[in-house]
Every structure is written in structure tokens, then in C-alpha cells.
Amino acid sequence: MVTLGSRLKALRQEKGLTQKEVAKLIGTTDVSIGRYEMDARVPKADILNSLAKLYDVEIDYLLTGKEETEQPLNDRDKKDIEKDLKKIMDDFRDGESGPVYFDGIELDEDDMDKLEIAMRTALEIAKVKNKEKYTPKKYKK
């Protein structure tokens, strides 16, 4: 069975990088990279995002191994997502409604960046699902 760890290792080797080089590029340790590749640990969302960018693949590919044959989101969809995300994050960051808390702890800027990554992913998934659900059959390929 092909796992997340084996995909990470194969992608790293395709790029001709060492675990230490990957760790330095994404801001973690080579021990962590080794654990991810041995499936001893699962990377957090921000690390997965960094690995996907480094290897030039989608996060979905890292997690499932499925490659997207056609791009589900066009440029207009991406602009809409960025516009919505900017509005949401600006509302969070402006502090007019007070500070943002999670589990009783105020979120710092690093946490807000992680929240932004999660929100972007959620908006992308919602956009794709809505396109699948509401696109008439005659326009589907």
C-alpha cells in the first residue's frame, strides 16, 4: 500500500534532495522529515502545505495519491476565493470585535497564518463541491 510517507520520500528523491535539505527549506528538522517518510508521524497542515509547494503537487495528492487530471478551479474561481479569504482574514485581524480566541487562548500572528491556510483549503473545497453540485449535466465533461 502506498502511504503518505512513501509519497513524500519518492517526491524528495525525485527532486534529488536530502531530508536535511527539505527540512531547512520548509523550516522543520530532518528528524521530523524522517518520521513523516516512515509514517511514524503525520505532518500538520502548514507543513503539508509547505511540502506540497516544495514538490509542486497538490495537498490532495500527498494525502490520497490521486492526481487531478483537470484543474477544478479556474482563474476566476481562484480570484473569488482570494477575495473572500482576504475579507474574512481582514475581519479577524482588524480586531474591531476584539481579539480572536481558540480554546481560551488568544491567537497570535503565526496562528492566524495557520487559520488562513485552513480557511483557504475550506473555501477551495466548498467551491469545487458547489461546482460539482450545481453545474448542469450538459456542461460537464
Please write the tens of the pLDDT for every residue from 8-36: 999 999 999 999 999 999 999 999 999 99
Domain span at residue 9 reads 4-64
Q: Same domain, yes or no, for 52 and 101?
A: no
Q: Same domain, yes or no, for 91 and 133?
A: yes
Does the pTM exceed 0.75?
no
pLDDT range class, residue 71, cuts 50, 70, 90 = low
Rounded alpha-carbon distances, angstroms, from residue 66 to 29, 40, 46, 58, 129:
27, 22, 20, 9, 17
* Sheet strands (E) in the chain: 101-102, 105-106
Round to whole Å and give the CA distance between 141 and 134.
14
pLDDT tens digit sequence for 93-139: 887 878 888 889 998 989 999 999 999 999 999 998 888 788 776 66
pLDDT given at position 139: 63
Round to whole Å and give the CA distance between 139 and 69.
17
Kindly state whether residue 87 falls inside one of the protein's structural domains: yes
pLDDT tens digit sequence for 40-66: 999 999 999 999 999 999 888 888 887
Q: Same domain, yes or no, for 54 and 85?
A: no
Q: Same domain, yes or no, for 9 and 56?
A: yes
Round to whole Å and give the CA distance between 115 and 121.
10
Q: Same domain, yes or no, for 80 and 131?
A: yes
Give the list of residues 6+ apart from residue 85 with CB closer than 8 angstroms, or none: 116, 119, 120, 123
Task: Return the C-alpha torsion angle 120, 123, 125, 128, nearest 10.
Answer: -130
pLDDT tens digit sequence for 82-98: 999 999 999 888 878 78
- 79: pLDDT strictly greater than 80: yes
CATH number at 54 reads 1.10.260.40
